[in-house]
Chain A
Amino acid sequence: MLAIRTTAFALICSILLATGCAKKESFNIRDVDPGQAGTVRSLGPESQDVVRLADLMVRSLLESHVISSSEHPPTIAMLPMENNTRFAFSQEIFTTKLKAELNKQANGRLRFVARDLMDDIQAERQAKRAGEVDYDPEQRTLTVAGADYFLAGRVDGLGNASRLGQSEYAVYAFKLVNSETGIEEWEDLFDVKKEGRDDVVYR
């Protein structure tokens, strides 16, 4: 009888252990939707912030009077985004996504000047004029295009921490500044607040 009970007890323990310790669904690498918060979270900027910000800014900017009521497509120079938070990150991920989405969805209603390629552009122009490479004279301009507007972005952050957890509030703002008058003709913002609570062993 004792042997039966002990065996039964051991069996129940084994089953419980086997089910309790069953490996949860794990992964090494997998593709996920960048527009959704993933399993790996941080209080800093995340991919869904990039996607949501770009989506919001594109719609807002294309609906603005600067673009919708302009007779000619305005030329825009994208400036580096300023990071005024406590997180160090590549700000270019925001500007790259935003500029590409604007170019894609604007259908020619605005144009960006490629200031990041200025050295290559100048070298090509010189090579053309020196006869080193062929080109269409009809396409010739006195100089490279200037920007009617600067598109400038920044993110400001406010972090708090206490024994109860941490929170981070971030305000992302982009504005369109007339490069002649300096007047800000359009601006919009996207803000997000995240909270996290680390386990007590880390506090």
Chain B
Amino acid sequence: MNRTDSHNGRPRPTAAAGLLLLAFAALMAGGCARSPRSGVPPGFQSVELSERLRPLQRKLNAEGERNWVLNLNAIAMGALRDGDRETAKRALDESVMLIEVIYGDSEQARRARSIWFREESKVFKGDPYERSMTYMYRGILYLQDRDWDNARACFRSVLFHDSLAADQQNRGDWVLPHYLIGVCEVQMKRPTFAREAFVRAEAAYSEFVAAYSPLEDSHRAPRLELRDSLPPFDEETNLLVVTQHGRAPRKKATGSHGELLAYIPGGGAGMSPATVAVDGNGGTRTSFGDSVYFQAATRGGRGVDGILGQQAKLRGGAEAAGSVAVLGGAVVAAHGVSSGSDSTALAGAGVLAAGALMYGFSTMVQPQADTREWAALPDSLGIAVSTAKPGVREIEVSYSAEDANRFGGNTRARELVEVPEPGAGVAVILAFPPPAVSLVGGIEHDPTMEVSS
């Protein structure tokens, strides 16, 4: 700092220039990157939402492209709960299209990798379990439309997106998609393929049962009532009910600088099977279908973890070096002042200033992991199948008190459905526990519409 310009004797503007260069580099690294688009996705602009879903539409518009998938999925869940299947289909179709976009070496991705921006500045596509669940819901909607091959395509995509898991043994280990592919094959009169799919479902189920128990103890995952096998499905089966239990897994940034992403169970007390009655008769207990938490917790490391880890190290190192320099500089400067040595005091002040700069730099490094999450997902899914009397039937799903508590104590959900003749198709119901009706800010508060961003 006390070096002088060889030509005019004035101090060189090294600190100022350094700061300017730093700011310039920061701008070039991230500031020039194109910001994600604002407004609603082009394919969703003409969709009119109900009054109840308008707050979500405003959120979709306000948060723009960065959270399109997150907000579209929330809209889809709200619409499904309202029985508005067409809106749910539009939202999920748009979401699926955005999930499939390949962000190669894009500006937004570079920005998310930059040390100056948090990971959450990237466009949200969701973790593999969230992408898979987007396809799961779309596939169930195709099933309801009896579009068997497109339903099968969606369930295959559930498995495909799980194949991004880092842990080889946990790739493609969902249970329900295999089972539902079997259902599609039965409807398409392809018995050999159906058998193969059900065998894969049973194998995935057995592996799940073996792998899940340790999680119950070590991670306090919800306790599930697991049977020996999945319910048999054949060409005579004409009613399939998919139930949803518990709360979505939560994401938590851990590590010294929040650079590590951890998944914690959101399920709370646990999941008990629901009971399905047709026209008030009988009571088929649902079997376990899949665990969303298990899928979240077993994905393994992410590609971005290494980058965030380096950023955390950089931040930690800069913090430590800055702190030491500030402390050391202060001591030297104090010594210089007390001993009357101007040069020592100036040198100490210089070290102190450099330390402060270093510390300031460390606070600008953003290694925090992205914790945006699809909070409306369930913890797990259940299934019930039966051969019911054809015609319009009232299907009543009774949830356990634990599941009902999530929504305010109402345990029963009813739905009218056209049950086909055995061998002529299958009626599919996606059951939600009934919501509590409470007015929050003029709209009905529904936990399934929760979005975390």
A88 interfacial by beta-carbon distance below 8 Å: yes
Contact of B153 among A2, A13, A83 (CB under 8 A): A83
Stretch at the interface among B156-164, B231-239, B387-395, B400-408: B156-164
Contact of A200 among B8, B10, B153, B304 (CB under 8 A): B304
Contact of B164 among A2, A85, A161, A201 (CB under 8 A): A161
A9 to B17, Cβ gap below 8 A? yes
A200 to B32, Cβ gap below 8 A? no
B439 interfacial by beta-carbon distance below 8 Å: no
Binary interface encoding of chain A residues 42-53 relative to chain B, with 1 for a CB under 8 A from any of its CBs, else 0 = 111000000000
A199 to B103, Cβ gap below 8 A? yes
B24 to A197, Cβ gap below 8 A? no
B154 interfacial by beta-carbon distance below 8 Å: yes
Give A17 to B31 CA distance when docked, in angstroms.
Answer: 10
Contact of B100 among A16, A44, A91, A203 (CB under 8 A): A44
Interface residues in A75-118 (C-beta closer than 8 Å to B): 82-89, 91
CB distance from A160 to the nearest CB of B (A): 8
Give A88 to B149 CA distance when docked, in angstroms.
Answer: 8
Interface residues in A1-43 (C-beta closer than 8 Å to B): 1-2, 5-6, 9-10, 13, 16-17, 20-21, 24, 40-43
Give A72 to B213 CA distance when docked, in angstroms.
Answer: 69
Contact of B20 among A9, A21, A84, A166 (CB under 8 A): A9
Chain B facing A: main interface SS: helix
CB contact under 8 A between A201 and B109, given known A6-B16, A88-B142, A196-B104: yes
CB contact under 8 A between A199 and B109, given known A2-B13, A161-B160, A161-B163: yes
A89 to B164, Cβ gap below 8 A? no
Give A22 to B103 CA distance when docked, in angstroms.
Answer: 21
How many chain A residues have a CB neighbour from B under 8 Å?
Answer: 39
Contact of B105 among A13, A91, A160, A199 (CB under 8 A): A199
Q: Contacts of B109 on A, CB cut-off 8 Å?
A: 199-202
CB contact under 8 A between A42 and B307, given known A17-B27, A201-B112: no
How many chain B residues have a CB neighbour from A under 8 Å?
Answer: 49
B58 interfacial by beta-carbon distance below 8 Å: no
Q: Contacts of B166 on A, CB cut-off 8 Å?
A: 163
CB distance from A156 to the nearest CB of B (A): 11
Give A88 to B139 CA distance when docked, in angstroms.
Answer: 9
B102 to A82, Cβ gap below 8 A? no
A199 to B113, Cβ gap below 8 A? yes
Give A43 to B163 CA distance when docked, in angstroms.
Answer: 16
Binary interface encoding of chain A residues 186-203 relative to chain B, with 1 for a CB under 8 A from any of its CBs, else 0 = 000000000011111111
24 A-B residue pairs with Cβ-Cβ distance under 8 Å, sorted by A, are: A1-B7, A1-B10, A10-B20, A13-B24, A16-B28, A17-B32, A20-B28, A40-B101, A44-B100, A84-B149, A85-B156, A86-B157, A88-B139, A88-B142, A88-B151, A88-B157, A91-B149, A161-B164, A163-B166, A197-B102, A199-B112, A200-B304, A201-B113, A203-B304
Binding site for A on B (CB under 8 A): 7-8, 10, 13, 16-17, 20, 24, 27-28, 31-32, 34, 96-97, 100-106, 109-110, 112-113, 119, 122, 125, 138-139, 142, 149-154, 156-157, 159-160, 163-164, 166, 302-304, 307
